[in-house]
Structure 1
Protein backbone atom coordinates (compact mmCIF):
# COMPACT_ATOMS: atom_id res chain seq x y z
CA UNK A 1 0.00 0.00 0.00
CA UNK A 2 1.36 3.41 -0.92
CA UNK A 3 0.54 6.79 0.49
CA UNK A 4 0.68 10.15 -1.26
CA UNK A 5 3.25 12.54 0.20
CA UNK A 6 1.93 15.18 2.55
CA UNK A 7 1.24 18.44 0.76
CA UNK A 8 3.18 21.34 2.31
CA UNK A 9 1.21 24.55 2.42
CA UNK A 10 2.94 27.60 1.00
CA UNK A 11 3.94 30.69 2.98
CA UNK A 12 1.23 32.68 1.18
CA UNK A 13 -1.42 30.15 2.15
CA UNK A 14 -0.49 30.38 5.84
CA UNK A 15 -0.59 34.18 5.69
CA UNK A 16 -4.04 34.05 4.11
CA UNK A 17 -5.13 31.81 6.98
CA UNK A 18 -3.63 34.38 9.35
CA UNK A 19 -5.79 37.10 7.76
CA UNK A 20 -8.92 34.97 8.26
CA UNK A 21 -7.91 34.18 11.86
CA UNK A 22 -7.36 37.89 12.55
CA UNK A 23 -10.84 38.72 11.26
CA UNK A 24 -12.37 36.01 13.44
CA UNK A 25 -10.48 37.07 16.57
CA UNK A 26 -11.31 40.74 16.00
CA UNK A 27 -15.00 39.84 16.02
CA UNK A 28 -14.68 37.66 19.12
CA UNK A 29 -12.49 40.02 21.14
CA UNK A 30 -14.48 43.11 20.20
CA UNK A 31 -17.61 41.29 21.37
CA UNK A 32 -15.82 40.38 24.59
CA UNK A 33 -14.93 44.03 25.19
CA UNK A 34 -18.46 45.17 24.28
CA UNK A 35 -20.00 42.76 26.77
CA UNK A 36 -17.63 43.51 29.66
CA UNK A 37 -16.46 47.10 29.02
CA UNK A 38 -13.01 45.88 30.08
CA UNK A 39 -10.10 48.03 28.95
CA UNK A 40 -7.89 44.94 29.25
CA UNK A 41 -10.03 43.08 26.74
CA UNK A 42 -10.15 46.22 24.59
CA UNK A 43 -6.34 46.24 24.47
CA UNK A 44 -6.44 42.59 23.43
CA UNK A 45 -8.90 43.41 20.64
CA UNK A 46 -6.74 46.30 19.41
CA UNK A 47 -3.77 43.95 19.09
CA UNK A 48 -5.89 41.75 16.82
CA UNK A 49 -6.32 44.70 14.46
CA UNK A 50 -2.51 44.89 14.39
CA UNK A 51 -2.45 41.17 13.57
CA UNK A 52 -4.76 41.78 10.62
CA UNK A 53 -2.76 44.68 9.20
CA UNK A 54 0.51 42.78 9.71
CA UNK A 55 -0.78 39.62 8.01
CA UNK A 56 -2.05 41.57 4.99
CA UNK A 57 1.23 43.47 4.63
CA UNK A 58 3.25 40.28 5.10
CA UNK A 59 1.23 38.61 2.35
CA UNK A 60 2.04 41.48 -0.03
CA UNK A 61 5.75 41.43 0.87
CA UNK A 62 6.05 37.65 0.56
CA UNK A 63 4.48 37.86 -2.89
CA UNK A 64 7.12 40.41 -3.87
CA UNK A 65 9.91 38.36 -2.27
CA UNK A 66 8.98 35.32 -4.34
CA UNK A 67 9.37 37.21 -7.61
CA UNK A 68 12.32 35.92 -9.68
CA UNK A 69 15.54 37.89 -10.10
CA UNK A 70 15.60 40.47 -12.89
CA UNK A 71 18.04 42.95 -14.43
CA UNK A 72 17.39 45.55 -11.72
CA UNK A 73 17.42 42.99 -8.88
CA UNK A 74 19.98 40.32 -9.85
CA UNK A 75 19.96 38.83 -6.33
CA UNK A 76 16.19 38.52 -6.25
CA UNK A 77 13.64 40.22 -4.01
CA UNK A 78 14.00 38.16 -0.81
CA UNK A 79 14.71 41.18 1.40
CA UNK A 80 11.12 42.34 0.96
CA UNK A 81 10.25 40.01 3.85
CA UNK A 82 12.26 42.21 6.23
CA UNK A 83 10.01 45.16 5.41
CA UNK A 84 7.10 42.99 6.51
CA UNK A 85 8.52 42.28 9.97
CA UNK A 86 9.66 45.90 10.36
CA UNK A 87 6.22 47.22 9.42
CA UNK A 88 4.62 44.81 11.87
CA UNK A 89 6.88 46.10 14.63
CA UNK A 90 5.84 49.72 13.92
CA UNK A 91 2.18 48.73 14.04
CA UNK A 92 2.74 47.05 17.38
CA UNK A 93 4.33 50.19 18.79
CA UNK A 94 1.31 52.26 17.70
CA UNK A 95 -1.12 49.78 19.25
CA UNK A 96 0.86 49.69 22.50
CA UNK A 97 0.82 53.48 22.86
CA UNK A 98 -2.94 53.57 22.22
CA UNK A 99 -3.48 50.85 24.82
CA UNK A 100 -1.44 52.75 27.43
CA UNK A 101 -3.38 55.97 26.75
CA UNK A 102 -6.73 54.18 27.17
CA UNK A 103 -5.54 52.38 30.31
CA UNK A 104 -4.42 55.60 31.98
CA UNK A 105 -7.88 57.11 31.46
CA UNK A 106 -9.53 54.01 32.93
CA UNK A 107 -7.10 54.05 35.87
CA UNK A 108 -8.11 57.64 36.65
CA UNK A 109 -11.82 56.84 36.22
CA UNK A 110 -12.32 53.12 37.03
CA UNK A 111 -15.50 51.44 35.80
CA UNK A 112 -17.17 48.21 37.00
CA UNK A 113 -17.13 45.26 34.59
CA UNK A 114 -20.21 43.49 33.26
CA UNK A 115 -20.81 40.05 31.72
CA UNK A 116 -17.32 38.87 32.68
CA UNK A 117 -17.98 35.15 32.16
CA UNK A 118 -19.22 35.54 28.58
CA UNK A 119 -16.43 37.98 27.73
CA UNK A 120 -13.77 35.58 29.00
CA UNK A 121 -15.28 32.67 27.03
CA UNK A 122 -15.16 34.71 23.81
CA UNK A 123 -11.55 35.67 24.54
CA UNK A 124 -10.54 32.06 25.19
CA UNK A 125 -12.11 30.89 21.91
CA UNK A 126 -10.14 33.52 20.00
CA UNK A 127 -6.96 32.40 21.78
CA UNK A 128 -7.53 28.80 20.69
CA UNK A 129 -7.83 29.93 17.07
CA UNK A 130 -4.60 31.93 17.28
CA UNK A 131 -2.77 29.24 19.23
CA UNK A 132 -3.46 26.44 16.75
CA UNK A 133 -2.57 28.63 13.77
CA UNK A 134 0.59 30.01 15.41
CA UNK A 135 1.85 26.49 16.18
CA UNK A 136 1.34 25.42 12.55
CA UNK A 137 2.92 28.62 11.23
CA UNK A 138 6.04 28.25 13.38
CA UNK A 139 6.60 24.76 11.99
CA UNK A 140 6.05 26.04 8.45
CA UNK A 141 8.41 28.99 9.05
CA UNK A 142 11.21 26.54 9.83
CA UNK A 143 10.41 24.46 6.75
CA UNK A 144 10.27 27.49 4.44
CA UNK A 145 12.95 29.52 6.29
CA UNK A 146 10.65 32.55 6.13
CA UNK A 147 11.19 35.44 8.54
CA UNK A 148 7.85 37.02 7.53
CA UNK A 149 5.98 33.84 8.47
CA UNK A 150 7.99 33.42 11.68
CA UNK A 151 7.34 37.05 12.70
CA UNK A 152 3.61 36.65 12.15
CA UNK A 153 3.56 33.34 14.02
CA UNK A 154 5.46 34.68 17.02
CA UNK A 155 3.19 37.70 17.11
CA UNK A 156 0.18 35.40 17.20
CA UNK A 157 1.74 33.27 19.95
CA UNK A 158 2.44 36.38 22.02
CA UNK A 159 -1.17 37.37 21.48
CA UNK A 160 -2.28 33.98 22.85
CA UNK A 161 -0.37 34.38 26.13
CA UNK A 162 -1.50 37.99 26.36
CA UNK A 163 -5.14 36.92 26.01
CA UNK A 164 -4.73 34.21 28.63
CA UNK A 165 -3.25 36.69 31.08
CA UNK A 166 -5.92 39.31 30.41
CA UNK A 167 -8.76 36.79 30.74
CA UNK A 168 -7.37 35.54 34.05
CA UNK A 169 -6.98 39.07 35.34
CA UNK A 170 -10.48 40.11 34.26
CA UNK A 171 -11.88 37.16 36.21
CA UNK A 172 -10.13 38.50 39.32
CA UNK A 173 -11.82 41.91 39.14
CA UNK A 174 -15.32 40.83 40.32
CA UNK A 175 -13.78 38.40 42.81
CA UNK A 176 -11.49 40.94 44.48
CA UNK A 177 -13.43 44.11 43.77
CA UNK A 178 -10.18 45.80 42.71
CA UNK A 179 -11.11 47.78 39.59
CA UNK A 180 -7.53 48.94 39.01
CA UNK A 181 -6.54 45.38 38.01
CA UNK A 182 -8.19 45.91 34.61
CA UNK A 183 -6.15 48.99 33.49
CA UNK A 184 -3.03 47.49 35.06
CA UNK A 185 -3.42 44.42 32.85
CA UNK A 186 -3.80 46.66 29.80
CA UNK A 187 -0.50 48.40 30.61
CA UNK A 188 1.24 45.03 31.10
CA UNK A 189 -0.08 43.93 27.69
CA UNK A 190 1.28 47.12 26.12
CA UNK A 191 4.71 46.63 27.71
CA UNK A 192 4.83 43.04 26.47
CA UNK A 193 4.04 43.90 22.87
CA UNK A 194 6.54 46.79 22.94
CA UNK A 195 9.18 44.19 23.87
CA UNK A 196 8.05 42.11 20.90
CA UNK A 197 8.25 45.15 18.61
CA UNK A 198 11.85 45.74 19.63
CA UNK A 199 12.80 42.16 18.75
CA UNK A 200 11.15 42.36 15.33
CA UNK A 201 12.77 45.69 14.51
CA UNK A 202 16.20 44.41 15.49
CA UNK A 203 15.85 41.34 13.26
CA UNK A 204 14.61 43.45 10.36
CA UNK A 205 17.54 45.87 10.62
CA UNK A 206 20.00 42.97 10.87
CA UNK A 207 18.56 41.43 7.73
CA UNK A 208 18.63 44.65 5.73
CA UNK A 209 22.27 45.14 6.74
CA UNK A 210 23.31 41.77 5.23
CA UNK A 211 23.77 39.80 8.42
CA UNK A 212 26.02 36.75 8.10
CA UNK A 213 24.64 33.22 8.25
CA UNK A 214 24.19 31.59 11.65
CA UNK A 215 27.14 30.12 13.57
CA UNK A 216 25.87 26.61 12.84
CA UNK A 217 25.70 27.26 9.11
CA UNK A 218 29.12 28.88 9.01
CA UNK A 219 30.60 25.96 10.92
CA UNK A 220 29.10 23.57 8.37
CA UNK A 221 30.63 25.62 5.54
CA UNK A 222 34.04 25.71 7.24
CA UNK A 223 33.98 21.95 7.85
CA UNK A 224 33.13 21.29 4.19
CA UNK A 225 35.92 23.55 2.92
CA UNK A 226 38.42 21.95 5.32
CA UNK A 227 37.50 18.53 3.93
CA UNK A 228 37.97 19.71 0.33
CA UNK A 229 41.21 21.64 0.92
CA UNK A 230 44.58 20.01 0.17
CA UNK A 231 48.21 20.86 -0.45
CA UNK A 232 47.19 22.03 -3.92
CA UNK A 233 43.84 23.63 -3.21
CA UNK A 234 42.98 26.25 -0.64
CA UNK A 235 39.98 28.47 0.06
CA UNK A 236 39.86 31.98 1.52
CA UNK A 237 37.94 35.27 1.60
CA UNK A 238 34.76 33.52 2.72
CA UNK A 239 31.77 35.82 3.07
CA UNK A 240 28.18 34.88 3.83
CA UNK A 241 24.92 36.78 4.04
CA UNK A 242 21.24 36.11 4.47
CA UNK A 243 18.30 37.77 2.75
CA UNK A 244 15.20 36.32 4.45
CA UNK A 245 15.07 32.71 3.21
CA UNK A 246 17.87 33.20 0.66
CA UNK A 247 21.41 32.33 1.76
CA UNK A 248 24.53 33.47 -0.07
CA UNK A 249 28.15 32.37 0.16
CA UNK A 250 31.12 33.88 -1.72
CA UNK A 251 34.76 32.75 -1.58
CA UNK A 252 38.00 32.31 -3.51
CA UNK A 253 39.42 28.93 -4.49
CA UNK A 254 43.15 28.83 -5.28
CA UNK A 255 44.46 26.03 -7.51
CA UNK A 256 47.87 25.41 -9.14
CA UNK A 257 48.48 27.55 -12.21
CA UNK A 258 49.37 24.46 -14.23
CA UNK A 259 45.91 22.90 -13.87
CA UNK A 260 43.71 22.81 -16.94
CA UNK A 261 40.55 24.89 -16.89
CA UNK A 262 38.47 21.69 -17.00
CA UNK A 263 40.19 20.27 -13.92
CA UNK A 264 39.82 23.51 -11.98
CA UNK A 265 36.15 23.82 -12.97
CA UNK A 266 35.49 20.23 -11.87
CA UNK A 267 37.04 20.94 -8.45
CA UNK A 268 34.95 24.09 -8.14
CA UNK A 269 31.78 22.12 -8.99
CA UNK A 270 32.69 19.60 -6.29
CA UNK A 271 33.10 22.44 -3.77
CA UNK A 272 29.76 24.01 -4.77
CA UNK A 273 27.91 20.71 -4.42
CA UNK A 274 29.52 20.08 -1.04
CA UNK A 275 28.54 23.51 0.29
CA UNK A 276 24.97 23.24 -0.98
CA UNK A 277 24.63 19.82 0.65
CA UNK A 278 26.02 21.21 3.91
CA UNK A 279 23.64 24.20 4.01
CA UNK A 280 20.27 23.77 2.36
CA UNK A 281 19.26 26.50 -0.07
CA UNK A 282 22.75 28.02 -0.18
CA UNK A 283 23.69 30.01 -3.30
CA UNK A 284 27.42 29.69 -3.86
CA UNK A 285 29.78 31.92 -5.85
CA UNK A 286 33.38 30.70 -6.12
CA UNK A 287 36.09 32.74 -7.86
CA UNK A 288 38.95 30.65 -9.27
CA UNK A 289 42.51 32.00 -8.80
CA UNK A 290 46.01 30.58 -9.30
CA UNK A 291 47.91 29.74 -6.13
CA UNK A 292 49.80 32.79 -4.91
CA UNK A 293 47.61 35.34 -6.67
CA UNK A 294 45.29 37.69 -4.80
CA UNK A 295 42.80 40.13 -6.31
CA UNK A 296 43.98 43.74 -6.36
CA UNK A 297 43.00 45.61 -3.21
CA UNK A 298 42.00 42.46 -1.26
CA UNK A 299 43.84 41.41 1.87
CA UNK A 300 44.00 37.76 2.86
CA UNK A 301 41.81 37.09 5.89
CA UNK A 302 41.06 33.44 6.61
CA UNK A 303 42.50 30.51 4.66
CA UNK A 304 41.27 26.91 4.54
Structure 2
Protein backbone atom coordinates (compact mmCIF):
# COMPACT_ATOMS: atom_id res chain seq x y z
CA UNK A 1 0.00 0.00 0.00
CA UNK A 2 1.40 3.37 -1.00
CA UNK A 3 1.55 5.87 1.86
CA UNK A 4 0.52 8.44 -0.74
CA UNK A 5 -2.87 6.76 -1.16
CA UNK A 6 -3.36 6.70 2.61
CA UNK A 7 -2.44 10.37 3.01
CA UNK A 8 -4.72 11.40 0.15
CA UNK A 9 -7.61 9.49 1.73
CA UNK A 10 -7.00 11.18 5.09
CA UNK A 11 -6.75 14.61 3.47
CA UNK A 12 -10.05 13.96 1.69
CA UNK A 13 -11.86 13.84 5.04
CA UNK A 14 -10.35 17.21 6.03
CA UNK A 15 -11.16 18.85 2.69
CA UNK A 16 -14.72 17.53 2.88
CA UNK A 17 -15.17 19.01 6.35
CA UNK A 18 -13.92 22.43 5.17
CA UNK A 19 -16.27 22.39 2.16
CA UNK A 20 -19.17 21.33 4.39
CA UNK A 21 -18.49 24.25 6.72
CA UNK A 22 -18.49 26.74 3.85
CA UNK A 23 -21.70 25.38 2.34
CA UNK A 24 -23.46 25.36 5.68
CA UNK A 25 -22.46 29.00 6.14
CA UNK A 26 -23.78 29.83 2.66
CA UNK A 27 -27.14 28.21 3.47
CA UNK A 28 -27.34 30.00 6.84
CA UNK A 29 -26.74 33.36 5.15
CA UNK A 30 -29.24 32.88 2.31
CA UNK A 31 -31.89 30.43 3.50
CA UNK A 32 -31.84 28.86 0.01
CA UNK A 33 -33.30 25.37 -0.33
CA UNK A 34 -30.79 24.61 -3.06
CA UNK A 35 -27.90 25.55 -0.77
CA UNK A 36 -29.41 23.46 2.02
CA UNK A 37 -29.53 20.51 -0.37
CA UNK A 38 -25.94 21.18 -1.37
CA UNK A 39 -24.85 21.15 2.28
CA UNK A 40 -26.75 17.91 2.94
CA UNK A 41 -24.91 16.26 0.04
CA UNK A 42 -21.61 17.41 1.52
CA UNK A 43 -22.41 15.81 4.89
CA UNK A 44 -22.66 12.46 3.14
CA UNK A 45 -19.49 13.30 1.23
CA UNK A 46 -17.54 13.61 4.48
CA UNK A 47 -18.96 10.31 5.75
CA UNK A 48 -18.04 8.60 2.46
CA UNK A 49 -14.47 9.96 2.62
CA UNK A 50 -14.12 8.55 6.12
CA UNK A 51 -15.39 5.17 4.85
CA UNK A 52 -12.85 5.27 2.02
CA UNK A 53 -10.03 5.97 4.49
CA UNK A 54 -11.10 3.00 6.61
CA UNK A 55 -11.37 0.71 3.57
CA UNK A 56 -7.93 1.69 2.26
CA UNK A 57 -6.42 1.03 5.68
CA UNK A 58 -8.05 -2.41 5.81
CA UNK A 59 -7.03 -3.30 2.24
CA UNK A 60 -3.38 -2.61 3.14
CA UNK A 61 -3.34 -5.44 5.68
CA UNK A 62 -1.31 -8.47 4.59
CA UNK A 63 -2.93 -11.82 3.91
CA UNK A 64 -3.70 -13.91 7.00
CA UNK A 65 -5.17 -17.31 7.84
CA UNK A 66 -8.74 -16.04 7.41
CA UNK A 67 -8.05 -13.94 4.29
CA UNK A 68 -5.38 -15.85 2.40
CA UNK A 69 -5.80 -13.78 -0.77
CA UNK A 70 -5.48 -10.49 1.11
CA UNK A 71 -7.97 -7.76 2.01
CA UNK A 72 -7.98 -5.90 -1.32
CA UNK A 73 -11.74 -6.09 -1.86
CA UNK A 74 -12.35 -3.87 1.16
CA UNK A 75 -11.99 -0.91 -1.22
CA UNK A 76 -14.88 -2.18 -3.32
CA UNK A 77 -17.06 -2.37 -0.20
CA UNK A 78 -16.23 1.29 0.44
CA UNK A 79 -17.10 2.19 -3.14
CA UNK A 80 -20.47 0.41 -2.85
CA UNK A 81 -21.14 2.26 0.40
CA UNK A 82 -20.32 5.57 -1.28
CA UNK A 83 -22.72 4.73 -4.10
CA UNK A 84 -25.47 4.06 -1.55
CA UNK A 85 -24.70 7.34 0.24
CA UNK A 86 -24.84 9.26 -3.05
CA UNK A 87 -28.29 7.80 -3.71
CA UNK A 88 -29.38 8.77 -0.18
CA UNK A 89 -28.09 12.29 -0.85
CA UNK A 90 -30.11 12.48 -4.07
CA UNK A 91 -33.31 11.40 -2.32
CA UNK A 92 -32.67 13.94 0.46
CA UNK A 93 -32.14 16.72 -2.07
CA UNK A 94 -35.36 15.76 -3.88
CA UNK A 95 -37.24 15.95 -0.58
CA UNK A 96 -35.94 19.45 0.13
CA UNK A 97 -36.72 20.51 -3.45
CA UNK A 98 -40.29 19.29 -3.02
CA UNK A 99 -40.82 21.39 0.09
CA UNK A 100 -39.22 24.31 -1.73
CA UNK A 101 -41.84 23.99 -4.47
CA UNK A 102 -44.58 24.11 -1.87
CA UNK A 103 -43.23 27.34 -0.35
CA UNK A 104 -40.89 29.11 -2.82
CA UNK A 105 -39.14 32.32 -1.78
CA UNK A 106 -36.25 34.45 -2.98
CA UNK A 107 -32.97 33.75 -1.13
CA UNK A 108 -31.48 36.37 1.16
CA UNK A 109 -28.11 37.96 0.32
CA UNK A 110 -27.65 35.91 -2.88
CA UNK A 111 -24.36 37.60 -3.79
CA UNK A 112 -22.74 36.69 -0.46
CA UNK A 113 -24.04 33.14 -0.65
CA UNK A 114 -22.76 32.87 -4.21
CA UNK A 115 -19.23 33.86 -3.15
CA UNK A 116 -19.13 31.43 -0.23
CA UNK A 117 -20.56 28.55 -2.23
CA UNK A 118 -18.27 29.40 -5.15
CA UNK A 119 -15.20 29.15 -2.90
CA UNK A 120 -16.35 25.71 -1.71
CA UNK A 121 -16.93 24.63 -5.32
CA UNK A 122 -13.42 25.65 -6.41
CA UNK A 123 -11.88 23.70 -3.51
CA UNK A 124 -14.00 20.66 -4.36
CA UNK A 125 -13.18 20.81 -8.08
CA UNK A 126 -9.43 20.90 -7.43
CA UNK A 127 -9.67 18.06 -4.92
CA UNK A 128 -11.82 16.01 -7.29
CA UNK A 129 -9.07 16.14 -9.93
CA UNK A 130 -6.48 15.07 -7.35
CA UNK A 131 -8.55 12.11 -6.19
CA UNK A 132 -9.32 10.85 -9.69
CA UNK A 133 -5.73 11.25 -10.91
CA UNK A 134 -4.12 9.57 -7.90
CA UNK A 135 -6.84 6.92 -7.67
CA UNK A 136 -6.42 5.87 -11.29
CA UNK A 137 -2.61 5.97 -11.22
CA UNK A 138 -2.48 3.94 -7.97
CA UNK A 139 -5.40 1.71 -9.06
CA UNK A 140 -7.39 2.46 -5.91
CA UNK A 141 -11.15 1.88 -6.34
CA UNK A 142 -11.84 3.69 -3.04
CA UNK A 143 -10.07 6.89 -4.15
CA UNK A 144 -11.67 6.79 -7.60
CA UNK A 145 -15.10 6.32 -5.99
CA UNK A 146 -14.39 9.18 -3.59
CA UNK A 147 -13.33 11.35 -6.55
CA UNK A 148 -16.56 10.57 -8.41
CA UNK A 149 -18.54 11.36 -5.29
CA UNK A 150 -16.80 14.72 -4.97
CA UNK A 151 -17.53 15.29 -8.66
CA UNK A 152 -21.25 14.96 -7.95
CA UNK A 153 -20.80 17.55 -5.23
CA UNK A 154 -19.16 19.90 -7.75
CA UNK A 155 -22.02 19.37 -10.20
CA UNK A 156 -24.50 20.09 -7.41
CA UNK A 157 -22.73 23.33 -6.52
CA UNK A 158 -22.54 24.47 -10.13
CA UNK A 159 -26.28 23.87 -10.48
CA UNK A 160 -26.90 25.87 -7.32
CA UNK A 161 -24.79 28.76 -8.59
CA UNK A 162 -26.72 28.76 -11.86
CA UNK A 163 -29.92 28.95 -9.84
CA UNK A 164 -28.56 31.85 -7.84
CA UNK A 165 -27.90 33.77 -11.03
CA UNK A 166 -31.31 33.01 -12.56
CA UNK A 167 -33.54 33.51 -9.51
CA UNK A 168 -32.75 37.23 -8.91
CA UNK A 169 -32.65 37.96 -12.66
CA UNK A 170 -36.02 36.38 -13.43
CA UNK A 171 -37.68 37.01 -10.08
CA UNK A 172 -38.96 33.42 -10.12
CA UNK A 173 -38.26 31.86 -6.69
CA UNK A 174 -39.50 28.47 -7.93
CA UNK A 175 -36.26 28.15 -9.92
CA UNK A 176 -34.37 27.58 -6.65
CA UNK A 177 -36.01 24.21 -5.85
CA UNK A 178 -36.24 23.36 -9.57
CA UNK A 179 -32.45 23.55 -9.93
CA UNK A 180 -32.06 21.46 -6.78
CA UNK A 181 -34.39 18.79 -8.20
CA UNK A 182 -32.55 18.59 -11.53
CA UNK A 183 -29.19 18.28 -9.81
CA UNK A 184 -30.60 15.52 -7.58
CA UNK A 185 -31.40 13.45 -10.67
CA UNK A 186 -27.80 13.74 -11.85
CA UNK A 187 -26.51 12.78 -8.40
CA UNK A 188 -28.84 9.76 -8.40
CA UNK A 189 -27.49 8.56 -11.76
CA UNK A 190 -23.88 8.93 -10.57
CA UNK A 191 -24.61 6.92 -7.42
CA UNK A 192 -26.20 4.11 -9.42
CA UNK A 193 -23.24 3.99 -11.83
CA UNK A 194 -20.79 3.90 -8.94
CA UNK A 195 -22.55 0.99 -7.24
CA UNK A 196 -22.81 -0.94 -10.52
CA UNK A 197 -19.08 -0.61 -11.18
CA UNK A 198 -18.10 -1.57 -7.63
CA UNK A 199 -20.37 -4.62 -7.54
CA UNK A 200 -18.55 -5.82 -10.67
CA UNK A 201 -15.30 -5.83 -8.67
CA UNK A 202 -16.90 -7.76 -5.82
CA UNK A 203 -18.16 -10.31 -8.34
CA UNK A 204 -14.62 -10.91 -9.69
CA UNK A 205 -15.18 -9.11 -12.98
CA UNK A 206 -12.37 -9.40 -15.51
CA UNK A 207 -9.98 -6.47 -16.08
CA UNK A 208 -10.58 -4.14 -19.06
CA UNK A 209 -9.88 -5.64 -22.53
CA UNK A 210 -6.62 -3.69 -22.94
CA UNK A 211 -5.27 -5.15 -19.67
CA UNK A 212 -6.24 -8.69 -20.72
CA UNK A 213 -4.55 -8.12 -24.10
CA UNK A 214 -1.36 -6.99 -22.33
CA UNK A 215 -1.46 -10.09 -20.12
CA UNK A 216 -1.70 -12.37 -23.17
CA UNK A 217 1.14 -10.46 -24.82
CA UNK A 218 3.43 -10.82 -21.79
CA UNK A 219 2.81 -14.57 -21.61
CA UNK A 220 3.47 -14.96 -25.34
CA UNK A 221 6.72 -12.95 -25.27
CA UNK A 222 8.29 -14.51 -22.18
CA UNK A 223 7.30 -18.18 -22.33
CA UNK A 224 9.99 -19.28 -24.82
CA UNK A 225 10.49 -23.03 -24.53
CA UNK A 226 6.83 -23.71 -23.80
CA UNK A 227 4.28 -24.67 -26.45
CA UNK A 228 1.22 -22.65 -25.51
CA UNK A 229 -0.82 -21.24 -22.65
CA UNK A 230 -4.54 -21.86 -22.36
CA UNK A 231 -7.47 -21.50 -19.91
CA UNK A 232 -6.38 -17.96 -19.07
CA UNK A 233 -8.51 -16.45 -16.30
CA UNK A 234 -8.21 -12.97 -14.81
CA UNK A 235 -9.97 -10.95 -12.13
CA UNK A 236 -9.58 -7.67 -10.30
CA UNK A 237 -9.49 -7.22 -6.52
CA UNK A 238 -8.80 -3.59 -5.72
CA UNK A 239 -5.35 -2.73 -7.05
CA UNK A 240 -4.46 -6.40 -7.52
CA UNK A 241 -4.96 -8.32 -10.77
CA UNK A 242 -5.07 -12.10 -10.37
CA UNK A 243 -3.91 -14.10 -13.40
CA UNK A 244 -4.23 -17.87 -13.80
CA UNK A 245 -3.42 -20.06 -16.80
CA UNK A 246 -2.18 -23.50 -17.86
CA UNK A 247 1.27 -23.62 -19.49
CA UNK A 248 1.90 -26.51 -21.88
CA UNK A 249 5.55 -27.66 -22.14
CA UNK A 250 7.25 -30.52 -24.06
CA UNK A 251 6.65 -33.85 -22.39
CA UNK A 252 10.37 -34.53 -21.93
CA UNK A 253 11.13 -31.12 -20.34
CA UNK A 254 12.55 -31.31 -16.82
CA UNK A 255 10.77 -29.80 -13.85
CA UNK A 256 13.67 -27.37 -13.39
CA UNK A 257 13.42 -26.14 -16.99
CA UNK A 258 9.65 -25.65 -16.73
CA UNK A 259 10.16 -23.82 -13.46
CA UNK A 260 12.64 -21.46 -15.15
CA UNK A 261 10.02 -20.56 -17.77
CA UNK A 262 7.48 -19.80 -15.04
CA UNK A 263 10.03 -17.63 -13.22
CA UNK A 264 10.71 -15.71 -16.44
CA UNK A 265 7.00 -15.06 -16.97
CA UNK A 266 6.50 -13.98 -13.35
CA UNK A 267 9.48 -11.61 -13.52
CA UNK A 268 8.07 -10.04 -16.69
CA UNK A 269 4.74 -9.43 -14.96
CA UNK A 270 6.52 -7.98 -11.93
CA UNK A 271 8.32 -5.46 -14.16
CA UNK A 272 5.27 -4.57 -16.25
CA UNK A 273 2.37 -5.05 -13.79
CA UNK A 274 3.77 -5.01 -10.26
CA UNK A 275 0.28 -5.45 -8.77
CA UNK A 276 -0.35 -8.77 -10.51
CA UNK A 277 -0.41 -12.17 -8.78
CA UNK A 278 0.30 -15.08 -11.14
CA UNK A 279 -0.68 -18.73 -10.78
CA UNK A 280 0.67 -21.10 -13.44
CA UNK A 281 -0.32 -24.75 -13.85
CA UNK A 282 2.28 -26.64 -15.90
CA UNK A 283 1.02 -29.41 -18.19
CA UNK A 284 2.75 -31.90 -20.55
CA UNK A 285 2.49 -31.56 -24.32
CA UNK A 286 -0.43 -33.96 -24.62
CA UNK A 287 -2.70 -31.48 -22.79
CA UNK A 288 -2.37 -28.77 -25.47
CA UNK A 289 -5.70 -27.31 -26.65
CA UNK A 290 -4.34 -25.13 -29.46
CA UNK A 291 -6.77 -22.33 -28.74
CA UNK A 292 -4.92 -20.33 -26.12
CA UNK A 293 -1.89 -18.04 -26.13
CA UNK A 294 0.65 -18.94 -28.79
CA UNK A 295 4.19 -18.67 -27.47
CA UNK A 296 6.51 -16.54 -29.61
Q: Do Structure 1 and Structure 2 share a fold, with TM-score over 0.5?
A: yes
Task: Give 2:132's match in structure 1, choosing from 133, 138, 143.
Answer: 138
d(CA) in 1 for partners of 2:10, 2:225: 54
Unaligned runs of 5+ in 2: none
Alignment of 1:86 with 2:80, yes or no, is yes
Q: Tell me how far 1:231 sits from its aligned partner.
A: 7.8
d(CA) in 2 for partners of 1:199, 1:72: 31
Deviations 1:88-117 (A, max 9, x none): 111111111111111111102112211100
Task: Give 1:13's match in structure 2, choosing from 7, 19, 26.
Answer: 7
d(CA) in 2 for partners of 1:11, 1:24: 20
d(CA) in 1 for partners of 2:142, 2:189: 18
Distance 1:77 1:300, change over 3 A: farther
Alignment of 1:302 with 2:270, yes or no, is no
Deviations 1:112-166 (A, max 9, x none): 2111001010101111111121212222112211010011112112312321221
- TM-score between both structures, scaled by the size of structure 2: 0.94
Q: Tell me how far 1:9 sits from its aligned partner.
A: 5.6
Instruction: Map 1:72-221 to 2 at 5 A.
Output: 72-221=66-215
* Contact 1:217–1:279 (CA under 8 A) maintained in structure 2: no
Q: Tell me how far 1:300 sits from its aligned partner.
A: 8.3
* Contact 2:224–2:261 (CA under 8 A) maintained in structure 1: no
* Contact 2:16–2:42 (CA under 8 A) maintained in structure 1: yes
Unaligned runs of 5+ in 1: 1-7
* Contact 1:240–1:248 (CA under 8 A) maintained in structure 2: yes
d(CA) in 1 for partners of 2:259, 2:139: 31
Q: Tell me how far 1:229 sits from its aligned partner.
A: 5.2
Deviations 1:17-49 (A, max 9, x none): 111111111111111111111111111111110
d(CA) in 1 for partners of 2:106, 2:122: 27
d(CA) in 2 for partners of 1:196, 1:300: 44
d(CA) in 1 for partners of 2:239, 2:177: 40
Distance 1:232 1:80, change over 3 A: closer
Alignment of 1:267 with 2:261, yes or no, is yes
Cα RMSD (Å): 1.8
* Contact 1:138–1:149 (CA under 8 A) maintained in structure 2: yes
Q: Tell me how far 1:303 sits from its aligned partner.
A: 4.6
* Contact 1:220–1:278 (CA under 8 A) maintained in structure 2: no
Cross-structure match for 2:245 = 251
d(CA) in 2 for partners of 1:140, 1:231: 39
d(CA) in 2 for partners of 1:143, 1:303: 28
Distance 1:198 1:134, change over 3 A: same
Deviations 1:45-91 (A, max 9, x none): 11110110000111111111110001111110000001101111111
Count of aligned pairs = 293
* Contact 2:159–2:180 (CA under 8 A) maintained in structure 1: no
